[in-house]
Structure 1
Amino acid sequence: MTTTLFLQSEIQDPYGLYKTMIAQNPVYWDKENQIWVLYSYDACVSILNSDLAYIPEINPNNEQGLNDSALEISNQLARLSNGIQHDISREVAMLLFSNMNAVTTNKILEQLLERKENKSELDWVNSVCKQLPVLVVLKNFGFNDKDSLFISENIEQLTKIMLPNKTQMQVDSINTIAKEIYEIAEKHLVASAFYTILEKTLFEKYQISTKEILSLCVCNIIGLFIQSYDAGRGLLSNALLQILNKNHSLLNLAIERDWMQSAIIESLRFDPPIHTTRRVAVGDIVLNDRVIKKGDKIILVLASANRDVNQFLNPENFDPTRINNGEHLTFGIGGHGCLAKHFSIQLGTDALLYLFEQYKNVSLLDENIQYEPLSNARLPKNILISI
């Protein structure tokens, strides 16, 4: 029996399974779990672009018991919505992005590195990856130091709101922190210089109430915090591992911006932080002569599609010079494509370029990397490096 659902903490190399499935069952019906699992590039692209494949509702009728603030966040996020609701939420997120300032990543990273007690060793994940991306977003929006520290220290609890299945402990944790983060974000947005213009723009286009506009803006700026924490953490972690795990001659190139940016993009293809995304069919879909029926659940294994030999030459080689690395599906495509694509690549490039410029002898202290017990994301728990 083929294993399609597993925790990344339980498997050393998921790419071996993905390779087999692309060759033998690129569109696979998992009878045991009653779900379609897509492994090939073409199959994933078809569903990502399909009007008949929706983001599944993760908390129908609030059966999980989220409190008012957490429920509001969940209901308004662009990443979790469909149809006109998604169009509006996506535009809100885009308008928020357009009003971000340009705070230097290096300054924040320098401050994080100065805090470490051991001057020669560093846990890259806990000291940098879990803090830098969300702090950059917060500072770009002008949040003060107190609020930035509070949100960055507690955002991990709120990221569990994205999980389709939550334990009671996770729900309690989400409810504990959601109200406070919501209130901080709301207070900051209302006081910001750009909010009045943003409110006017949305009202004129969609004729929605000022209360609804404020909710959409607050929830989607929180969505940017969540996205920067989980995906940003994974990008910084996995990219560093690929650079350090390969031929040491790569380290000579790691201080060149163009090469580093190419390496970040290749890392997003070769070893992405997010491995899967989910959809549900809202109508019958024919794919590879198989019929995905209305109501069927679908898992798209984007990390597998990124290693499809029919799309990428020698896909199992980490090659920053490959011409079409940017065609990876890690950020998705179409209407639900990630808005933070360019921001994430720049953040990763800036951070790793700074690391290798400031520290000339970066190396792994422990090559036995353990991963978080997640099914959709491959996130290292720790990366101990010598600097």
Structure 2
Amino acid sequence: MTTLFLQSEIKNPYLFYDKMIAKNPVFWDENSKIWAVYSYEYCAEILKNENAHIPKLPFNPNLNRYALEIIDNLARLSNGVQHQITRETTNTLFSYMKNVGVDSILKELINNEINQNQINWVDSVCKKLPILTVLKSFDFNENDCIFILEKIESFTKIMLPQKTEEQIKFINEHAEEFYLKVEKHISTLEFYETLIFKIAEKHNIKKEEIIPIAVSNLIGLCIQSFDAGRGLLSNSLLQILQNKNVKDKTEIEKSVIETLRFDPPIHNTRRIATEDFVIDESLIQKGNAILVVLASANRDAEKFENAPNFDPHRKNNHENLTFGMGGHECLAKYFSIHLTTETLWFLFTNYKTISLLENNIQYEPLINARLPKNIWISIYN
């Protein structure tokens, strides 16, 4: 029995998750040397456990200093006091984002890509809309938007624990330009001095130490928008088309939240034990790796009534663990839900007939995320 598998190689991972919840909610995978946690109760317990830290990416001496700077300052990879500082910095960045209507961006993307009323929803919209929305929310110019949009898919490999020589080469070739573009732009924004001063004064650190944190986490927001944002847009459209849940914007938002529970883009996250602790009578030893299977917890019948059914009206759907919980809960949670809701509302309002052109969806070869490679749809006014 293996806990680690590529989402591209399994048709329905939820059948496996159901078995593990029933028989091995906390399981030691001897082959992979990792604890895998499947039930809602125990996943939540790990996420809230102060002795279960986010594992740092292994130091890679082949990466240049700009790539290492980005990795070292990301909120999603930090713990303790550093996490508090990076999280506050990122929260402040979020608070200064402008409201950008997705309608004009989406309309342009569709008009540029549609061919004979057919469009690849993933390539044409999902890989572009979330990150363009983020960039335009911070007033990036057109040239910088084009550069980041063209490079982001390959640049996201910076988050991989193990990277190929080709991936390292690409990251090193573009990390400096990526970093300096963001640094230059963010320094021109009205809130920049306020942001730097506020965090530096509160934590009694030099302003120069806050700059790479702000730059790195704005880059991190771009990476997260490309991965998780793309996945939520993809999976939500699939679920709405399959379940015919389109009445009004509220109904779409409920369907998006239920998609986060029922068919989330992110299936698991990892922790490492910093001290010994016991869970479900199993001793997790200091240094042990832990796989928190969020998608499994979201299908736990002990937590969600009729868990195998897609039900936007279930009262506790918002308690899904897809964005995590506690100190490491994803900061992009509400942004992602709002963006997906607005996008799908525009789509179904402006195109009266939307049909899925293929039923056999293929997924990217990833362990932690279930992201459709392509979703071909036909759309008619």
TM score, norm. by length of structure 1 = 0.96
Does residue 318 (structure 1) correspond to residue 315 (structure 2)? The answer is: no
Does residue 23 (structure 1) correspond to residue 22 (structure 2)? The answer is: yes
SS at match of 2:312: coil
- 1:69-98 C-alpha deviation (Å, 9 max, x unpaired): 110000000000111111000000000000
SS at match of 1:28: strand
AA of the residue aligned to 1:330: T
Deviation of 1:161 (Å): 1.4
Q: Conserved in 2, the CA contact under 8 Å of 1:93 and 1:221?
A: yes
Match of 1:67 in 2: 64
Q: Following the alignment from structure 1 to structure 2, what is the Cα–Cα distance between the partners of residues 374 and 367? A: 20
Q: Conserved in 2, the CA contact under 8 Å of 1:151 and 1:181?
A: yes
Match of 1:306 in 2: 298
Does residue 218 (structure 1) correspond to residue 215 (structure 2)? The answer is: yes
Match of 2:278 in 1: 286
User: How many residues of Structure 1 are paired with residues of Structure 2 in the alignment?
Assistant: 379
Matches within 5 A, 1:164-313: 164-246=161-243, 250=244, 253-313=245-305
The runs of at least 4 consecutive aligned structure 1 residues that moved more than 6 Å come to none
- 1:333-373 C-alpha deviation (Å, 9 max, x unpaired): 00100011111000000001111111111011011111000
AA of the residue aligned to 1:364: L
Q: Conserved in 2, the CA contact under 8 Å of 1:99 and 1:194?
A: yes
Q: Conserved in 2, the CA contact under 8 Å of 1:255 and 1:356?
A: no
Match of 2:54 in 1: 55
Q: Conserved in 2, the CA contact under 8 Å of 1:157 and 1:177?
A: no
Residue 97 of structure 1 is aligned with which of 91, 94, 99?
Answer: 94
Deviation of 1:180 (Å): 1.1
Q: Following the alignment from structure 2 to structure 1, what is the Cα–Cα distance between the partners of residues 148 and 206? A: 28
Deviation of 1:304 (Å): 0.3
AA of the residue aligned to 1:378: R
Does residue 356 (structure 1) correspond to residue 351 (structure 2)? The answer is: no
AA of the residue aligned to 1:287: I
Q: Following the alignment from structure 1 to structure 2, what is the Cα–Cα distance between the partners of residues 366 and 179? A: 41
Q: Following the alignment from structure 1 to structure 2, what is the Cα–Cα distance between the partners of residues 273 and 18? A: 15
- 1:201-230 C-alpha deviation (Å, 9 max, x unpaired): 012111222221111110011111111110
Q: Following the alignment from structure 1 to structure 2, what is the Cα–Cα distance between the partners of residues 266 and 68? A: 41
Does residue 37 (structure 1) correspond to residue 36 (structure 2)? The answer is: yes
SS at match of 1:278: strand
Rate the CA distance shift 1:148–1:255 in 2: closer, same or farther, 3 A.
farther
SS at match of 1:149: helix
Match of 2:9 in 1: 10
Q: Following the alignment from structure 1 to structure 2, what is the Cα–Cα distance between the partners of residues 339 and 356? A: 28
Deviation of 1:117 (Å): 4.5
Deviation of 1:283 (Å): 0.3
Q: State the Cα RMSD in Å.
A: 1.0
Q: Following the alignment from structure 1 to structure 2, what is the Cα–Cα distance between the partners of residues 214 and 54? A: 25
Q: Following the alignment from structure 1 to structure 2, what is the Cα–Cα distance between the partners of residues 24 and 312? A: 18
AA of the residue aligned to 2:49: S
Matches within 5 A, 1:85-164: 85-164=82-161
- 1:111-142 C-alpha deviation (Å, 9 max, x unpaired): 11110140400100000000000000000011
Q: Conserved in 1, the CA contact under 8 Å of 2:21 and 2:300?
A: yes
Q: Following the alignment from structure 1 to structure 2, what is the Cα–Cα distance between the partners of residues 256 and 149? A: 34
Q: Following the alignment from structure 1 to structure 2, what is the Cα–Cα distance between the partners of residues 174 and 255? A: 44
AA of the residue aligned to 2:117: S
Q: Conserved in 1, the CA contact under 8 Å of 2:2 and 2:32?
A: no
Q: Conserved in 1, the CA contact under 8 Å of 2:34 and 2:289?
A: yes
Q: Following the alignment from structure 1 to structure 2, what is the Cα–Cα distance between the partners of residues 23 and 174? A: 42
Deviation of 1:328 (Å): 0.2
Match of 1:327 in 2: 319
Residue 336 of structure 2 is aligned with which of 331, 344, 354?
Answer: 344
Match of 1:380 in 2: 372
Q: Conserved in 2, the CA contact under 8 Å of 1:203 and 1:209?
A: yes
TM score, norm. by length of structure 2 = 0.98
Rate the CA distance shift 1:119–1:354 in 2: closer, same or farther, 3 A.
farther
Farther-moved stretch of structure 1 (107-116 vs 371-380): 107-116
Q: Following the alignment from structure 2 to structure 1, what is the Cα–Cα distance between the partners of residues 178 and 230? A: 20
- 1:153-202 C-alpha deviation (Å, 9 max, x unpaired): 21111211112222222222222221111111000011111101111101
Q: Following the alignment from structure 1 to structure 2, what is the Cα–Cα distance between the partners of residues 74 and 331? A: 20
Q: Following the alignment from structure 1 to structure 2, what is the Cα–Cα distance between the partners of residues 192 and 145? A: 16
AA of the residue aligned to 1:55: I
Q: Conserved in 1, the CA contact under 8 Å of 2:2 and 2:31?
A: no
Q: Following the alignment from structure 1 to structure 2, what is the Cα–Cα distance between the partners of residues 151 and 371? A: 24
AA of the residue aligned to 2:112: R
Q: Conserved in 2, the CA contact under 8 Å of 1:369 and 1:382?
A: yes
Deviation of 1:264 (Å): 0.2
- Uncovered stretches (5+) of structure 2, i.e. residues with no partner: none
SS at match of 1:362: strand
- Uncovered stretches (5+) of structure 1, i.e. residues with no partner: none
